[in-house]
Structure 1
């Protein structure tokens, strides 16, 4: 199967959307599929076996300069024509990916759209609330061009349906349990994250440092918990303001960490704190659970899909500072409870492989093709067979006859 992927963000940016997309591309390559990734910014020319086409773009200034809005150009159309996709995948169709959705419509190609970022919520958080209604209408219109719409958590499936989006299905959650593991705990990393006080309790936060992540909600709890340190891993437009506000609390801002350093940061913490209210899933919470570290998060967005309340962590009503502080104190002060929840999180994570999640996505590509009007295959190809040799879905081909 040949998949044209239009995405609003890609490497070298690192966030949950990029992680989910790159892991999926890796599995697609192993399964014998080919992808063309069209992305703004300065992406690499290839990702694994897949071609990446750079698209002209401009920064979303002054609100979020790290994010670049892609521009449709003749180069995009030439790349798409040369690739001859069987299906188009629009990732967060707002700018460039929305053009991808329209291009699929014009070309009469099957279309799958996926929703990873709650743009209307982000606009409110960035002080652009008056644009929220228009953004919601635009998102509904672009998604309803697709034969299949994927959401990354159960709550987001319900929200999409409530918005009037059709053909909604779930993109199963997944996490890399080899890269993220309790075995990656590192005394030197804990020393770094606690600013030389490894005997103190350590609360960790990982993610983009932007206003919509609501990290200010951790300020008062950290002030109320003596002997506790906060480490913030990540970077973004809100970092300078956060450093100013958390001055005097002993909070460590590491900037971005990747690979083994990031895995060591997770596994070296005692508790992961996740106060964001705008997540569609919260992949960092899953990475923390894979590392054997329980989560205290907001009962909002997709976080309840990632964290099992009172089993792998605690969920708190957004804005409840007393409740967030109490749950952190409960975990930090009870080694037995923390170990039990950490172990339960690890067990949960071990059932969430990227191969199974990608097989589900391939099944969704097939459904998009079927709904678009494809005919059955005479023999199953790589897209219709699971890695264990069992059929995934009824095999299909595209209107071009390619698998």
Structure 2
């Protein structure tokens, strides 16, 4: 791999990170990164995107807003959902980078932000440009031809890229990134949302499922609830409560599926302590998404000691869930796969859920902000040519605990 031996030591580096807006879990990581580098500056395209229902919280970081143009387009996916897509053009990127004079640049996503960074890198070849890839191949392969063409161009203009999981890595490899240009930079979770106490489960014959997220078509919660209701019509050995922490346009449609064996408990939008309480009271976490480039909820659930009944179209489920060990995975576009997973989950005894709970927490042990920040630190060290302890490049299990030790 190419190294930049002229770079200062990590504790003297000025690192600039560019992204659209700062999510809570990213802020937690960068608070830890800021302790490890000389200076950290974060450039944002906007303080918050229009469809987000929380206020910006930058956690004391050095955050600066860019001059940005934003377009809103409609994203339609073959799985049957559509959502607004916010496209950012941070037009003063090169000007800001010249002003800041960074040692290293990290740019999120492979769009116009990274294109501007790549152009800056052509002017300052001594500054490594790292594209931060948070994406999944099953989502990205449906993007338009112009975006695919731009990303193939960017592959030749950035020095390295990071991936958050195996699906992202496959996508970057298909773009033409060689393995020696790829680094693993995993997501973390906000541990305040996880339940840290001793986990207990309901007796056999009753199961409380919890779903956290938007009640929208992309999240797959309506067809999942229908599948649960249909399953219970022919299986009278169990009653189910589906608790839903969140809101969205399909809330009424989901609520109407309640019957004498299926209770729907709409909790509304919840803060961190309420989310932790929701994990505490549940037996199983449901995550039936039709398209998530990662999915933090399954990892939060695992950290809470909760087995996950999750869609394989969430990269976190693909990466972490081992069937019958810490959860059950299914293809939400395949009705037989979904029904089989529901059956296996609801037939799991209280005693087996308790064993799976121990395995669940073990599989999420390394999903902390400190662990993600240490990966970021390793990347910086690798750029300088410091190979005394090479950064880990594989997908798992190191990013999410030891999957080889799931059975207690």
The verdict on a shared fold, with TM-score over 0.5 as the criterion, is: yes
The 5-angstrom pairing of residues 251-290 of structure 1 reads: 251-290=264-303
Q: Does the residue aligned with 1:251 lie in a helix, a strand or coil? A: strand
Deviation of 1:301 (Å): 5.3
In the other structure, the counterpart of 1:22 is 27
In the other structure, the counterpart of 1:95 is 112
Deviation of 1:305 (Å): 0.5
| Distance in 2 (alpha carbons) for counterparts of 1:24 and 1:32 | 13
Question: Are the aligned partners of 2:194 and 2:304 in contact in 1 as well (CA < 8 Å)?
Answer: yes
Q: Is 223-232 or 340-349 further displaced after alignment?
A: 223-232
Deviation of 1:209 (Å): 4.5
Structure 1 residues 320 and 21, CA, compared in 2 at 3 Å: closer, same or farther?
A: same
Q: Which of 350, 355, 361 is matched with 1:335 structurally?
A: 350
Q: Which of 79, 82, 88 is matched with 1:70 structurally?
A: 88
Question: Are the aligned partners of 2:216 and 2:250 in contact in 1 as well (CA < 8 Å)?
Answer: no
In the other structure, the counterpart of 2:208 is 202
Deviation of 1:91 (Å): 1.0
In the other structure, the counterpart of 1:306 is 320
- TM-score, structure 1 normalization: 0.74
Question: Are the aligned partners of 1:148 and 1:364 in contact in 2 as well (CA < 8 Å)?
Answer: no
In the other structure, the counterpart of 1:180 is 194
The 5-angstrom pairing of residues 35-114 of structure 1 reads: 35-43=40-48, 46-58=58-70, 60-62=72-74, 68-74=86-92, 76-108=93-125, 109-114=127-132
Number of aligned residues: 349
Q: Does the residue aligned with 2:364 lie in a helix, a strand or coil? A: helix
In the other structure, the counterpart of 1:364 is 379
CA distances 1:75-124 after superposition (whole Å, capped 9, x unpaired): x4443333221111111122334433433333332111121134872685
Higher helix share: 1
In the other structure, the counterpart of 2:149 is 137
Question: Are the aligned partners of 2:226 and 2:257 in contact in 1 as well (CA < 8 Å)?
Answer: no
- TM-score, structure 2 normalization: 0.73
In the other structure, the counterpart of 2:257 is 248
Q: Does the residue aligned with 2:144 lie in a helix, a strand or coil? A: helix
Q: Does the residue aligned with 1:149 lie in a helix, a strand or coil? A: strand
Structure 1 residues 162 and 73, CA, compared in 2 at 3 Å: closer, same or farther?
A: closer
The 5-angstrom pairing of residues 137-176 of structure 1 reads: 137-166=149-178, 167-172=181-186, 174-176=188-190
| Distance in 2 (alpha carbons) for counterparts of 1:157 and 1:119 | 8
Deviation of 1:269 (Å): 1.7
CA distances 1:260-319 after superposition (whole Å, capped 9, x unpaired): 122222232211112224333322211110011101122345222021222111112342
Q: Does the residue aligned with 1:309 lie in a helix, a strand or coil? A: coil
Q: Does the residue aligned with 1:156 lie in a helix, a strand or coil? A: helix
Q: Is 171-180 or 289-298 further displaced after alignment?
A: 171-180
| Distance in 2 (alpha carbons) for counterparts of 1:3 and 1:210 | 37
> Are 2:245 and 1:233 aligned?
yes
> Are 2:229 and 1:223 aligned?
yes
Question: Are the aligned partners of 2:107 and 2:117 in contact in 1 as well (CA < 8 Å)?
Answer: yes
Structure 1 residues 84 and 121, CA, compared in 2 at 3 Å: closer, same or farther?
A: same
Structure 1 residues 203 and 54, CA, compared in 2 at 3 Å: closer, same or farther?
A: farther
Q: Is 83-92 or 59-68 further displaced after alignment?
A: 59-68
Root-mean-square deviation over aligned CA pairs? 3.4
Q: Does the residue aligned with 2:355 lie in a helix, a strand or coil? A: helix
| Distance in 1 (alpha carbons) for counterparts of 2:113 and 2:157 | 15
* Structure 2: segments with no counterpart, 5+ residues: 1-12, 49-55, 76-81, 233-238, 392-408
| Distance in 1 (alpha carbons) for counterparts of 2:155 and 2:246 | 31
Structure 1 residues 260 and 285, CA, compared in 2 at 3 Å: closer, same or farther?
A: same
| Distance in 2 (alpha carbons) for counterparts of 1:52 and 1:234 | 30
